[in-house]
Each structure stands twice: as structure tokens, then as C-alpha cells.
A and B are shown apart, each in its own frame.
Chain A
Amino acid sequence: MAERTFRIWRGNKDGGEFVEYKIDVGPGWVVLDCIHRIQMQHATDLACRWNCKAGKCGSCSMEINGKPRLGCMTRMNSLPDGPITIQPLKTFPLVKDLVTDVKWNYEQNKRIPPFKPKARNADGTHRMMQEDVDRVQEFRKCIECFLCQDVCHVLRDHKAHDQFVGPRFMIRLASLEMHPLDTEDRVEKMRKEFGTGWCNITRCCTEVCPEHIGITDNGIIPMKERVVDRYFDPIAWFLGKVFGKK
């Protein structure tokens, strides 16, 4: 047990401040364990989302020492000595303490035209080879932690929430467009409504993804290319010229 100091953002939309807490940290603890201990000992009303405590549900997203991370997968011994700063996600409106209002993300999902499968084979099956679904399965690993949405400058700095659905929903679109059974066409919407052109491939989203999904290279760039095949997107066009198509 060693004592550690935490600076946690406390407040709601009317304002707030960092509050300092000191607790003894046990072996193997992650940041979420520390938050639970703080709730129990010092601040029973501290707001924080969590469910699985194993990196599977994407509830416990927060900014730890300035980096968007999962509280339940951030081990205390991976953080440098000194006080640890914990803040809510910046890109979404604050509800209270470490909890933000992420409803906007659910609205984006609703806008995406749903999966439309082709007919089953005569024997009642759908046949798909494993290698043809590997890529789609990679995208479907997404746990909707929204860390990528938090870090994407289009949303974080430019606040273009009404124009770009963000990396999470770009790979949702990719998972539908690359699904071997799907028959829907979302390319026009991707350009006009979902804002494919906004992404300038900084790869910040890929860096923070706890599921290690190749968001930019495997998802967004191929989608940009599909758009480019039909319309004109200067960045994808440039990439295509310089690096060749994937």
C-alpha cells in the first residue's frame, strides 16, 4: 500500500474545480479501483461510469493525465510518480464530475442506414469465408468507449458535430460497407451527410483506441476511397496518388 494523490475534476455544467484526494493504493490497482476507494472514503457522490472492469464495455472513459483512456485498464504502476489528474471527456457536454452526455453518439448511429442482407442460399445458410469477415470483425470489436470521438480534432476543437459523425461511426459505416452480405449503398450519404471529407488522417483516433482497431488505415481511408471513386476528396485523392490504393 502506497499513498497516492489524485486531482479529480468535480462539478457540473454550472462550473467546478479540481479537488485533491489522497488514498492508499494496493497491488495491481487500476485507476478505477482508486476512484471506487475515493467514493467509499471521501466522496460518496462522485460521479463516474463503469460496468465490466475488464475493458469490455467501454463505460469508464476519462482523461487521465491529459490522455483519453479507460479507467479500468490503466494500471497505477504504469503512471509516473506524482499526482494523477483525472478529468471527464472534453468533447462532450459535462453532466457531473467524470460523467459526460454522450447521447449525440447514439443519434449518429441512428442516422446510419441499417444492414440490409442479401437473400439466403437455397439451403437456408449464408456462406462467408473467415478471411472475408476478418476485417469486418476487427471493426465490430468496438466497445463504444468514444475515446476516438473525444480525441478527434474535428469534434474536439472544431466542434463540427453537425457535419462529421466521427471515427467511431466511420468504422461503423466501414463495417457495414465491407460486410459480405450487405446490399445497401451508403457512399453518397458518407460524403454529403456523414462528413467523410472532414477527416484529414491525423490518426489520433487510432492511437487511443483500446481495442487497437486500425480505425484510420483500415476503416476511414478505404471509405474515403469509395467516396473518391464517385466524388472528389482532395486528401484521399492525394494519398491515392502518392501511396497507391490499398
Chain B
Amino acid sequence: MGNGPDIHELQTIEHDVIVIGAGGAGLRAAIECSRQGLNTGLVCKSLLGKAHTVMAEGGMAAAMGNVDSRDGWKIHFRDTMRGGKFLNNWRMAELHAKEAPDRVRELEEWGAVFDRTKDGLISQRNFGGHRYPRLAHVGDRTGLELIRSLQDYGVHSGIHVHMECTALDLMKDGDRVCGALAYWRDTGRFVLFRAKAVILATGGIGKAWRITSNSWEYTGDGLAMAYLAGAELLDLEFTQFHPTGMVWPPSVRGTLVTEGVRGDGGILLNSEHKRFMFNYISPRFAPETAASEEEANRWLAGDKSARRPPELLTRDEVARAINAEVKAGRGSEHGGVYLDIASRLPAEVIKKKLPSMYHQFKELAEVDITRQPMEVGPTLHYHMGGILVDAESQMTTVPGLFAAGECGAGLHGANRLGGNSLSDLLVFGRRAGIGAAEYIRSLTVSPQVNAEQVQAGIRRATDILNRDSGTNPFVIQDQLQDMMGKNVGIIRTKSELETALGELEKFKAEAARVKAHATSQYNAGWHTALDLRNLLIASEAVAKAALTREESRGAHTREDFPGERDEWLKYNVIIRRGRDGEMVVEKRERKPGPAPLVEIANSKIEDLESGKVGADYK
């Protein structure tokens, strides 16, 4: 396919709707589309069943009340808002809390086998920021159960799966979306998907950082494609650093250690063997957090009058505390802190409850977690920010373009609670499917693909191969990760963010000269080069948003603007592409939340539980 590709020779596949991404969100969206009678295509970069969702460990949050009957959707909603520092989209947080239990039950109906309570119900475990045991789980491999159940159900519901196929660009007819250009990894050939609607479910952007729990797939493709297609992006500065990633050996630095370890009683210790989290309890959470080790232990033993241990504070708080301990010189041998479960539970129980953590440390770090503490430190894990969507339908600001799962935004605000992602995928994956079906039913004419857009996309991709010489894509990616870790890390300052933006200009220039050698068949270098554009757009957008938000809230910490500023609670940071291709940042005023929801979110827990607040709101 030379320089002037003829689009009539191009392989073309037509569907009513094409879902890009086959993690939990994409699969659930595709299943819904199919149920709504749409001819549905599902595209993913890897093999089916290998998306990020498969790695999720701890569980999926849903207020079913199986373990503690005091739980209910309003408490889940309140926890989500508080965890997100009140920047969440009110309606999304409400829908999520209300609908998650049904999505769990539906998964069971499709064959998922969750761990059970003594009464034979779906068991639920404790997690950071969740007031009651709320996470439906299967040991520490919940994501595998979720994705496999969806996959096994999905392949029997008439979805057309296109595996190892990477979307490059969205196609538009006027302001509407009308398909996507993609390539097959195994051959390097291009394929055009024509569709009346496109659902993005491409996950996050973790590969912009070196120390991350994310895989090679997380290069922000959906975010960048949506941006280039004109969609608005929301609150990108909120990138979650999970407090517990592995720190040793260097080759596994960043690999996740599930929060389930702390949920099941694990404690954090510094080099002086002090349980330091008691020193980092912020006023917002103090009334609901244990004041002493003795109380924390009673809570763990099931005493309902005791309060939760501080290790289960929200992720932003725990990550910052670990960061501060290490900075103060009280870190572990390799620059983390200790996570101890060995002294808390019998070896057999640890192996039963946390089998894959046991396995992971044994095989990768030669550490036996039933006898030794783990060394852990913060790792980039999740993107709360993402593509701006309508709360009900998940439609973006581009007609016909939808987004769900981690690439979308709104539900989690400034910080996501553990377990709220898996439930997010199912609740909003389904809603995106319904949204797309309604949109398609409302269309009067089918949008048409424009040949020039297709040719431009193909040319951009083939130039990388055809160039005589150029930079090694792996080297650029590596240097970018270093730079982002240094300048757009867990603690941020104006000068570092400005440095990052300056550096990014150089990276962009370098990426324009990137060269991949050999043929287009399954060529790792070419794939990495193609992903660079997206990774750079995502990196720049995060840095710009982070520079704009002059306060510290949730996962976004500005050393030069400490603490939450009430003024900033009134704003979202929106990013979109300007007329001349420049990146535009806008500080946009938020709509106030509906009064009953505001009241529930801000209530004292006793008042909510006694019905003094929110009882009439259904």
C-alpha cells in the first residue's frame, strides 16, 4: 500500500456499531448492543480475554449487603463521592451505586462463580474507602472471573470479534462519527470499519509512566482518538497512584499488590517497624477511622462498634503517606515501605485468600508472604480523568461516539475507590450499549466515510516504515516514561509541569521522525511507534490539566498549592482540540448537584443510617 492508497482495495467491514476495546466495559457494551438487535463488531489489540480487566484482583463493589446488611446504595454513593473528593459526576455516582448489584447478579446468571458466604450467598470483602464489606470477589483473581464470564457469554450472543486488531483513527462524516480505520497486527494490513456508532472502551494511559501496574496496551488510544475527533476530555489531572506496587526486584517495579491484602488485615510498617498510617488520618476521615491499633484489631475481628484501620483510607491518602515516610528516611531497603500480612494471618489462610499474591511474590521476588513482609511503594494505576460523557447514555460530545470504562470519566471524580472500576465497567458498558442503540434508531441517514481521512490515516502509519532512517520507538517511549515520572508524578509543582510541557515538545518532534524497521507483519517496533502519538497526546493533556488545577485534591497533589480549595470544587478542567490543532484548556463551571444527593453525600453516617437524612429519596 504505497503513498496514495486506493480505498476501494481496502478491506472493509460493516457493522451497525463497532466497540473498540474488549475489557469488561467493551464486552458488556457489545453484549448489550447485540441484545438491542444491532450488528455488533468488537475490536481489541490483544487476544480476546487478555485485556487489563483480566488483571483486576480485589473485587467489584456493589452494595448487596450480603455480609453486612446495613449496606445500601446510598452508603455506596456517599463513599464514592467522599473518595472522589466531591468532584464526581453526581448522576453517574448515583446510577453506579444503584445498578451495580444487578450487574453482579447478572454476571452470576452468566456463569461467574464468586466466593460464597456461610449462607451460600455471594461473599463481599472490605476495601479502602468502602464503609462495609462490599467487594464481590473470587480470591484475588476477580477480573479473570469477570472477563471470562463476559467472554463465554458474549461469544454465544452473536458478536463479531476482531482480535489483534488496532484502531488508528476515528472516521467522521461532518460532525458525526462513522467508523474507524484499523490494522491487523498479524499481517500489518489495514481494515476500515464502517459503523453508525462507535463505542470506545480502550482503558487508560499508564504506559506514559515507567512505574506502573499497566501493560503495553495502555497508551491512551481511545483518549487520543476521541480528542482528535473533536471530543472533550474531562479532569485529566487525576491519575491514580496505587499505594502498593512491588518495588523489588527492579524488573517488576510497579506490578500491583492488591488492596485486598490490607482489606484482609495487612498493615503498613516503616523501617522502624512503626505502623505509621495512624499519623496520616485527615480530618475528613478521622470520625470513621480507628484511633489506635487496639481498635483497628477489634474492627478486623468483626466488632461492629469499632472503626476501620487507617491502612484502609482512600488510595490517594495512603500513597501520599508512603511517599512521605520514604522521603523522611524511614523507607525500606529498596525505597518502599513494608506490607505485612505474615504476622496477621495463618499461612494457610493467606494462601487461600490471596493465592495469586502468594504466587507472584514467591516466583517474581523470591519472597514468601506467609513468612516475610512485602516491600511496596506507589505505582501509577488508573486514570480517573478521561473522555467527557453524558451520564445516562455515555455519549461523548461527538454525535455517535460513546465511551465507557476507564477511558471515560466522571464517576470517580478526583480519586477512585478500589473495586469501583469493575462495577463501573458493567454499569456503564451496558448503558453505552443502550445509548448507542437509541442513537442509531434516531438516525435518518447513514453517515458515509470520507476517502481522504482514510488515506491520511494509512499514510501516517506507513510513513513510519517507509522512512529511510529515524529514531528507535522503544527508546523514545522509555525516555518519555522517565520524564513523566520525574515531572508529572505523585507530587507536582508548576515548574516541573512546565518542564514537562517543554520536554513534550521535543518528544513530539522526535516522534515525527520515528522509524520502524522491516515489514509491517507483527512488528513490535512499528506498533510502539504508532502508539506514540496517542501516548504523547495523553501526556500533554494530563500535564496541561495538572498545571491548570491550582489546588491539591484526591490524586492530584500540588506542592505549591497544598490542600483542597473550595473555589476549585466549582470547576472541571476540560481539554479539547482547537481550530488550528492546538490543545485548548478550559476551566468550566460545574452544575451544582441535585439537593437530595448533596445532602446524602455530606451527611453524618449516623444520620444517613437512621433515616434522618435521605430516607425519602429513592
Beta-carbon nearest neighbor of A76 in chain B: B251
B475 at the interface (CB under 8 A from A): yes
A-B pair count, CB < 8 Å, reads: 162
Interface set, chain B 322-345, CB cutoff 8 A to A: none
Contact B364 A179, beta carbon cutoff 8 Å: no
Q: Are A45 and B50 closer than 8 Å at their CB atoms?
A: no
Decide if A39 touches B364 in the complex (CB within 8 Å).
Answer: no
Q: Is the pair B47, A53 in contact by a Cβ cutoff of 8 Å?
A: no
Majority DSSP secondary structure for residues of A touching B: loop
Task: Collect the chain A residues with CB atoms within 8 Å of residue B111's CB.
Answer: 114-115, 117, 176, 179
- A95, A109, A133: the one contacting B155 at CB < 8 Å is A109
| Nearest B residue (CB) for A136 | B113
Whether B113 lies near A179 (C-beta < 8 A) is: yes
Whether A202 is near chain B, meaning CB under 8 Å from some CB there, is no
Hey, which chain A residues are within 8 Å of B255, CB to CB?
53-54
Question: B-facing mask of A40-58, CB < 8 A → 1, else 0?
Answer: 1000111111111111111
Would you call B251 and A45 a contact (CB within 8 A)? no
Report the interface size for chain A: residues with CB under 8 A from the other chain. 56
By a CB distance below 8 angstroms, the chain B residues around A27 are 249-251
Also in contact, A57 and B54, with CB within 8 A (given A26-B251, A30-B364): yes
Known: A45-B519, A95-B522. A55 touches B152 (CB 8 A): no
Assess the B141–A101 pair: CB atoms within 8 A.
Answer: no
Binds B, one of A139-147, A221-229, A232-240: A139-147
Complex CA–CA separation, A51 to B145 (angstroms): 17
CB–CB B517/A44 < 8 A: yes
Contacts of B138 in A (CB 8 A): 137, 140
Shortest CB-to-CB span from B253 to chain A, Å, is 10
Residues of B within 8 Å of A39, CB to CB, are: 474, 524-525
A243 on the interface (CB 8 Å rule)?
no
Q: Check A50–B216 contact: CB distance below 8 A.
A: yes
Which of B82-90, B116-124, B265-273 touches A? B116-124
Question: Within the assembled complex, what's the spacing in Å between the Cα atoms of A101 and B187?
Answer: 12
Is there a chain A Cβ closer than 8 Å to B110's Cβ?
yes
A27 to B252, CA, bound (A): 10
Q: Is B609 an interface residue (CB 8 A)?
A: no
Partner of B145, one of A47, A54, A140: A140
A51 near B517 with CB under 8 A, answer: no
Which chain B residues border A103 with CB–CB below 8 Å? 163
* Segment from B355-363, B391-399, B417-425, B577-585 that makes contact with A: B355-363
Given known pairs A45-B516, A45-B525, A106-B48, the reply for A101 and B249 (CB within 8 Å) is: no
Q: Which residues A49-76 have CB closer than 8 A to chain B? A: 49-59, 73, 75
Asked whether A99 is an interface residue with its Cβ less than 8 Å from the other chain, the reply is: yes
Q: With A126-B108, A128-B116, A140-B113 in contact, is A95–B186 under 8 Å at CB?
A: yes
A102 CA / B49 CA spacing, docked (Å): 13
Give Cα A58 to B121, complex, Å: 30
Are B121 and A127 in contact (CB-based, < 8 A)? yes
Give every chain B residue within 8 A of A109 (Cβ-Cβ): 152, 155
A99 and B187 CA atoms in complex are apart in Å by: 12
B144 to A143, Cβ gap below 8 A?
yes
Report the Cα distance A44→B514, complex, angstroms.
12
Does B478 make an interface contact (CB < 8 A)? yes
Complex Cα distance, B51 from A35, in Å, reads 21
- On whether A28 and B365 interact (CB within 8 A), knowing A33-B251, A52-B54, A141-B141, the answer reads yes
Q: Considering the chains assembled together, what is the distance between the CA atoms of A239 and B109 in angstroms?
A: 36
In the complex, what residues of A have CB within 8 A of residue B359's CB? 55
Q: Is the CB of B141 within 8 A of A56?
A: yes
| Shortest Cβ distance from residue B397 to the other chain A in the assembled complex, whole angstroms | 31
* Contact (A52, B55) CB under 8 Å given A28-B249, A28-B252: yes
Q: Is the CB of A44 within 8 A of B472?
A: yes
When the two chains form their complex, are residues A12 and B521 in contact, meaning their CB atoms are under 8 A apart? Answer: yes
Residues of B contacting A26 with CB < 8 Å? 249-251
**Is the CB of B227 closer than 8 A to any CB of chain A?**
no
Contact between B49 and A144, CB atoms less than 8 A apart: yes
Please measure, in the bound complex, the distance between the C-alpha atom of A107 and the C-alpha atom of B267, giving whole angstroms: 46
10 cross-chain CB contacts under 8 A: A28-B248, A40-B474, A44-B525, A45-B517, A52-B215, A54-B255, A56-B356, A96-B521, A106-B48, A106-B161
Closest 8 CB pairs of A and B: A28-B249, A44-B525, A127-B120, A115-B111, A47-B522, A45-B518, A40-B474, A96-B522
User: Beyond A51-B55, A140-B148: 13 further Cβ-contacts under 8 Å?
Assistant: A27-B250, A28-B249, A44-B528, A46-B524, A47-B524, A52-B54, A55-B363, A59-B50, A95-B186, A95-B521, A114-B153, A126-B108, A130-B115
